[in-house]
Amino acid sequence: MKVAVFGLGYVGTVTAAGLAARGHEVAGVDVDTLKVDMISSGRSPVVEPGIDTLVREAVAAGRLQATTDVRLAIDGADVSLICVGTPSSPRGDTDLGFIERVLRDLRGAMDVAAPPASGHHCVVVRSTVPPGTGAKVVAPVFTEHPRPSGWSVGTAMCPEFLREGCGVEDFFAPPFVVVGTADTRTRDTLTELFAFLGQEVHHVDVGSAEALKYACNAFHAVKVTFANEMGRVLSPYGVDAREVMEIFCEDHKLNIAPAYLRPGFAFGGSCLPKDLRALQSMARHIDVEIPMVGSAMVSNEIAVRSLVDRVLATGLRRVCLLGLSFKMDTDDLRESPNLEVAERLVGKGLDVRIFDPIVNPDLLIGANLRHLQSKLAHVNRLLAATPEEALDGAEVVLVSSSDPAGLTALLAAAPRLVIDLHGRLGADVERLQPYEGVSW
């Protein structure tokens, strides 16, 4: 394919040279003449293992050239890949100024450049941009003004996941290939463009493709911070945090795993809150700060509070909780956030009824029973024997169970609002109207 790459920094240079190495005909565009001159003379403007050879060979083979002239670059091009910087503004917003300028230049150049042989040109953002950029900033440039004759334009988001220092290696073996677009021609073109990677393409909507990069980078930052906080709190106790974290990373069932990585409701139970408090206490004793571990508790409380506020804001008075313990298949009620929600709603005078297939107050003993008595002494009165009984007259239903009997009863009950806390009930419940995920 004929590809124009805008921005010849780390992402743009690796992308341009990588695509050229796989047989595409690439024109790199940059406003920086030094970078353009370097590529034109077969040298890389960025330092990355393997990039010099890639650029030199691609330029020598005539498959990679560089220019400051947008018209030249998009003449007959099938795809434009936008790889310019998206720095932070002083307020922390993403400055889209470079993207906007490229879009303006691109749209202007279409009036004078030759359209691609197929007649279809894909404008693809590879820079990291906030969700909504494609819909509000990119697409309107090509839909709101008269289309240049001979050009049909589709827009897409295709995030880049390379790491500096091993950018070339990552470019050829990305963790995933993600294409976000509503345009089928653009979707097909990009699938073909990246076919050499031999990876299945994730076709998602534009917002998801935009958001994914932020989720990845936030998680990387959280992981570094977590390991550092563990080191900070453990080493003064004579513990080698490297050894702890090395063994920690061997757990691919819970630690380095999809477990606990689904958006949903608050954590709880007899261990997580207690042990987070213990870690904070250990840190306090040695005057060490571990704000991220501490803020997990704060964030968890916000999850509970937001749900309670959301129910109260509906003005509806009859609430049913399907599921009471902190997770499925246990009767352990200690520090269950669902119980906390029930208690707060009762405290606000709402009529709450609960069905949990496992929690039966007559069978609870020991710490569980004590917790139930202290947190929700009158829970016996709230607990229903069947889901139908709990749902009878319910206006708002909070679902955290995957109990099939609960689902059948829920589908029949047709309440005014369903808020799904864990998304475990499958597609059927999402057909209920109105259905809301707690955070999706």
Ligand X SMILES: NC(=O)c1ccc[n+]([C@@H]2O[C@H](COP(=O)([O-])OP(=O)(O)OC[C@H]3O[C@@H](n4cnc5c(N)ncnc54)[C@H](O)[C@@H]3O)[C@@H](O)[C@H]2O)c1
The residues in 19-58 that bind ligand X, with binding defined as CB under 6 A, are 29-32, 35
* Among positions 4, 5, 10, 336, the unique one binding ligand X when judged by CB under 6 A: 10
Beta bridge partners of 142: none
Q: Which residue is nearest to ligand X (CB)?
A: 9
User: Which residue matches tokens 């670059």?
Assistant: 73
- Residue 128 marked as a ligand binder: yes
**Which string of x and - marks every residue 64-83 that binds ligand X (by CB under 6 A)?**
-------------------x
CA–CA distance, 6 with 205 (Å, rounded to integer): 23
- Residue 85 interacting with ligand X (CB under 6 A): yes
Query: Is residue 216 close enough to count as binding ligand X by CB under 6 A?
Result: no
Q: Which amino acid is at 14?
A: V
Q: How far apart are CA 31 and CA 6, in angstroms?
A: 9
Positions in 105-134 near ligand X (CB under 6 A): 127-128
Q: Is 310 annotated as a binding residue?
A: no
Q: Would you say 260 is a known binding-site residue?
A: yes
- Are the CB atoms for 201 and 178 separated by under 8 Å? yes
Of 4 and 425, nearer to ligand X (C-beta) is 4
Residue of 231, 186, 233, 232 whose CA lies nearest to 209:
186
Nearer to ligand X, 91 or 431 (CB): 91
Give DSSP secondary structure letters for 355-396.
E-SS--TTT--HHHHHHHHHH-TTHHHHB-SSHHHHHTT-SE
Query: In the bound complex, what is the minimum distance in angstroms from residue 352's beta carbon to ligand X?
Result: 47
d(CA 390, CA 386): 7
**Any known ligand binding at 140?**
no
Binding piece for ligand X, criterion CB under 6 A, among 98-106, 339-347, 354-362, 415-423: 98-106
The residues that bridge with 123 in the sheet, in sequence order, are: 80, 155
**Interatomic CA distance for residues 29 and 397, integer angstroms:** 55
Taking Cα atoms as reference points, which of 422, 423, 419, 411 lies closest to residue 435? 419
Residue 235 tokens read as 């080493």
Judge contact between 154 and 181, C-beta under 8 A.
yes
- Per DSSP (E only), the strands in 106-250 are 120-125, 152-157, 177-180, 201-204
Tell whether omega for the bond before 434 is within 30 degrees of 0, i.e. cis.
yes
CB of 26 to ligand X, least distance (A): 14
Contact between 426 and 408 under an 8 Å Cβ cutoff? The reply is: no
Rule CB under 6 A: say whether 86 interacts with ligand X: yes
DSSP state of 161: -
Q: Closer CB to ligand X, residue 98 or residue 265?
A: 98
Contact flags string 378-397 toward ligand X, x per CB under 6 A: --------------------
Q: Smallest gap, in angstroms, from Cβ of residue 98 to ligand X?
A: 4
Provide the minimum distance between the beta carbon of 10 and ligand X in the complex, in angstroms, as a whole number: 4
Could you tell me if 190 and 201 are in contact, meaning their C-beta atoms sit under 8 angstroms apart? yes
Of the candidates 98, 171, 265, 326, which one interacts with ligand X according to CB under 6 A? 98
Q: Is 264 annotated as a binding residue?
A: yes
For residue 394, give both structure tokens: 């319910």
* Nearest alpha-carbon partner for 138 in 259, 46, 6: 6
Closest CB to ligand X among residues 13, 325: 13
Between residues 6 and 355, which has the closer beta carbon with respect to ligand X? 6
Helix (H) or strand (E) holding 2: strand 2-6
Least separation in angstroms between residue 24's CB and ligand X is 19
Residue 12 touching ligand X (CB under 6 A) = yes
At position 348, the amino acid (one-letter code) is: K
180 binds ligand X (CB under 6 A): no
CB of 6 to ligand X, least distance (A): 5
C-alpha distances (whole Å) from 252 to each of 18, 230, 271, 412 are 33, 19, 20, 40
Q: Which residues are catalytic?
A: 271
How far apart are CB 140 and ligand X at their closest, in Å? 18
Q: Which of residues 141-160 bind ligand X (CB under 6 A)?
A: 160
Please identify which residue in 102, 123, 296, 321 interacts with ligand X, judged by CB under 6 A: 102
What are the residues facing 88 on neighbouring strands? 94
Pick the stretch among 2-10, 193-201, 239-247, 300-308 that binds ligand X (CB under 6 A): 2-10
- Check whether 262 is labelled as a binding-site residue: yes
Phi/psi of residue 377, nearest 5 degrees: -55, -35
Q: How far is the CB of 213 from ligand X (least distance, A)?
A: 7
Binds ligand X (CB under 6 A): choice among 54, 58, 77, 84 = 84
Q: Which residues of the shown chain bind ligand X in the complex (CB under 6 A)?
A: 6-12, 29-32, 35, 83-86, 98, 101-102, 127-128, 160, 162-164
Binding residues for NAD(+): 30, 35, 86, 128, 164, 274, 334
Binding residues: 30, 35, 86, 128, 161-164, 213, 260-264, 268, 274, 327, 334
Binding residues for substrate: 161-164, 213, 260-264, 268, 327
